[in-house]
Structure 1
């Protein structure tokens, strides 16, 4: 209790908490994009429940990982040495998650661009994804994103209460944003393609990290922000052109 009181009256602790919340929210965007794309393939009546289950899984995994920090630190130690290069459990998980993301994004892009009917119109999304299959895929990526999230938290502070509060706040904000973001992505096909491009890039980064090549996250998010800005300009231009056409 005394430790909590000392943290509550420590300005440095508050600064660390606010910084960590921002970092956790930014890292959670990757998770949220994946959940939104996947749940939009479900029947509409199941989407909200699938998002809730997926985000609850993300929260539980993050909290569980926080209470196993000593084991998490041990996950950085090499356990296999193929071709003379050591791979830790963290590397293996990042590689698996990255490969899954690249496969998933590539298959979705292929489906969006290639599957057309004889009239040239896109077919519907095909067979709806099953609820259990969607949840299984979401939970698999939750694990990968959770490890990335918690390792970031551990690198910024050594106070467990600060880490737990930041994770709770970040996941709550993801809950609040998940519905509007999912609906927005569903309404705009070009946003779907942009989001899939983000997932492809994130998957490539995870694979690189798994092989020991560190890529500064700031560059990745700057590229994503720039691409999103260009897409926003294009959406604005299309809106203006449509209004102009309606007037004529």
Structure 2
């Protein structure tokens, strides 16, 4: 079930890995920002402690998510769930845009320390599912499951590395260009469409009455490139702050994350 096999490192494989780096980076930074918002109501010393538990939970949940990805690759009905969830994720992001921070504060406000820790880990679960499902959805349906799982594992490792070592880089990007998260979620939405189409193809093989469609890989990657290029151009037209301000803010947030990581090691 959990066998791994190296995929051929052709142009498509590199495109998948490059997309995972972009999504993992932006979503991990977004995750870090959300977690920081959710602990603001606690005393400063408890904020660091709660974040330590939260980031520790994120690591554990990401590892479990990678292990469970093999089931999603094998069973079409789990892929259907993944497609619906990713579509919901993208749609809800744009519908609720501008209210996320207020909702994060409202959800955590008035909660005690352990209740906040539980809420943090539930949020980590959601982000871990987002990341793993996006990785699964990028795998071509005709790729052997062992090779697809290897790519998902590599994506999960990339996500953990980015959370630990490259957090300030992506935090700086999101601080200076907040609309970049729109690019990430637009990509997630298109990935959901791809996974949905492939789910219908798989379901049609079992139930011939299910309507089926086919999305050429060239079409998928062309739209992905268009979203990334056009979205980045639009997102970077009006920076929210200067580069120096964005770097200072990202450094402050990054230091908090690194100090929290050190607390995890000490415990």
TM-score under structure 2 length normalisation: 0.55
| Aligned 8 A contact 2:65 2:132 in 1 | yes
Q: Distance in 2 between matches of 1:56 and 1:156?
A: 30
Please identify, of 26-35 and 154-163, the stretch whose mean Cα deviation from structure 2 is larger. Answer: 154-163
- Gaps of at least 5 residues in structure 1 are 77-87, 113-125, 240-248
User: 1:226 matched to which residue of 2?
Assistant: 233
Q: Verify: 1:57 aligned to 2:61, yes or no.
A: yes
Alignment length (residue pairs) = 205
Q: How far 1:59 sits from its partner (Å)? A: 3.5
Q: Distance in 2 between matches of 1:133 and 1:178?
A: 25
Q: How far 1:51 sits from its partner (Å)? A: 3.0
User: 1:101 matched to which residue of 2?
Assistant: 93
Q: Distance in 2 between matches of 1:75 and 1:237?
A: 45
Q: How far 1:227 sits from its partner (Å)? A: 4.5
How is 1:90-239 mapped onto 2 (pairs within 5 angstroms)? 90-102=82-94, 104-108=96-100, 111=102, 127=109, 130-155=116-141, 157-158=143-144, 160=146, 162-163=150-151, 165-177=153-165, 179-181=167-169, 184=172, 188=175, 191=177, 193-194=178-179, 197-198=182-183, 201=186, 216-227=223-234, 229-230=236-237, 235-236=242-243
Larger radius of gyration between Structure 1 and Structure 2: 1
Q: How far 1:67 sits from its partner (Å)? A: 4.4
Secondary structure at the counterpart of residue 143 of structure 1: helix
Q: How far 1:55 sits from its partner (Å)? A: 4.2
Q: How far 1:184 sits from its partner (Å)? A: 4.1
Q: Distance in 2 between matches of 1:171 and 1:184?
A: 17
Higher relative contact order (CA 8 A, sep 6+): 1
| Aligned 8 A contact 1:99 1:207 in 2 | no
Secondary structure at the counterpart of residue 105 of structure 1: coil
Secondary structure at the counterpart of residue 13 of structure 1: coil
CA RMSD of the aligned region, Å? 4.5
Which digits, 9 at most, give the CA deviation of each residue in 1:194-215, with x for residues without a partner? Answer: 3554566567657877987x87
TM-score under structure 1 length normalisation: 0.58
Secondary structure at the counterpart of residue 222 of structure 1: helix
Q: Verify: 1:23 aligned to 2:8, yes or no.
A: no
Q: Distance in 2 between matches of 1:37 and 1:157?
A: 35
